[in-house]
Amino acid sequence: MRSLRTFLDMIKFEHTVFALPFAYLGMCLAAKGWPMLPQFFWITLAMAAARTAAMSFNRFIDRALDARNPRTASRPIQAGRIRAGQVAFAAVLSLAVLGFAAWQLNPLVFMLWPGAVLFLVGYSYTKRFTWFCHFVLGFTDGLAPLGAWAAITGSLLRPADLPAFLLTVIVTLWIGGFDILYAMQDIDVDKRDGLHSIPARFGVGAGLTVARLCHLFTVALLVAVGLLTGLGWPYWLGLVVAAALFIYEHRLISPTDLSKLDLAFFNVNGYISVTIFVATLAALLLS
């Protein structure tokens, strides 16, 4: 039990609740409301398994890099509280659970599973050779609403499926922007170890600018989704709240003060994702 608690703490399993709304957005928009219970169950299991796999592979793949970073040197693998082999086993098991959940949903989702595996495993390597790594991470998360949409509709090729692809772009920019902010605390370590990030390559000021642009386009594309799907007033109210949270989040951070970075990255990100999902679902149920 101690190893399980250590593992769940290492992958921040509790933050899955903040990641689930990404998938649920695609799920509810595709279903035009709440889906059938089996669909909801398998989508939820797939999303939890995907996030567990991604975080486990990240901790395993980056274990040597994390050991050299003062911020991450006390993580469970580095501190000897859990073995790297256990983390790798959990990662592979999570991919298997993801595949089983995809198979239970429909053939299209199962066909998408190998592509999801490629990004869930591969994104951790991208910072070794490109500062575009933030957007690879964002796209990996952006596959969640796309997969959930496919789970409900069994299709991604109709004109009516356009919102699914807009959601993928939205999440790519949304998470990419947040990851740029998060990378600011490791600029010196990234430069020392030859790792790539926008803040390390272009500086904190440029990183803040790119992150703000990402989130500005996120809000703009959320407007497009609302118009395209004909969502009612609860969605627009939620979008106003989310836009205000984006503004608040960026006001917490400046080139000379990164002390509130964790608050901006974890807390506000969670509030935004839950707000958008709840507002979307309310608009669908009241339509």
**Domain boundaries defined on the chain:** 15-34+107-286
pLDDT digits (tens, 9 = 90+) for 13-51: 656 666 789 899 999 999 999 999 999 999 999 999 999
**What's the whole-number average pLDDT of the chain?**
92
pLDDT grade for 2, boundaries at 50, 70 and 90? low
Nearest CA among 191, 106, 175, 96 for reference residue 137: 175
DSSP labels, 179-206: HHHHHGGGHHHHHHHT---HHHHH-HHH
Which pLDDT score, from 0 to 100, does residue 22 have?
Answer: 87
SS3 157: coil
Q: What is the CATH number of domain 15-34+107-286?
A: 1.20.120.1780
C-alpha–C-alpha distance, residues 61 and 58, integer Å:
5
pLDDT per residue as tens digits for the range 133-188: 999 999 999 999 999 999 999 999 999 999 999 999 999 999 999 999 989 989 99
Q: For position 80, what pLDDT does the model report?
A: 87
Say whether pLDDT at 234 is over 90: yes
Which residues have CB under 8 Å from 55's CB, separation 6+? 10, 11, 12
Checking if the pLDDT of 241 tops 70, the result is: yes
- The mean-pLDDT minimum among 13-17, 100-104, 125-129, 232-236 falls in 13-17
Give the pLDDT score at 125: 97
Instruction: Name the strand (E) or helix (H) holding 123.
Output: none
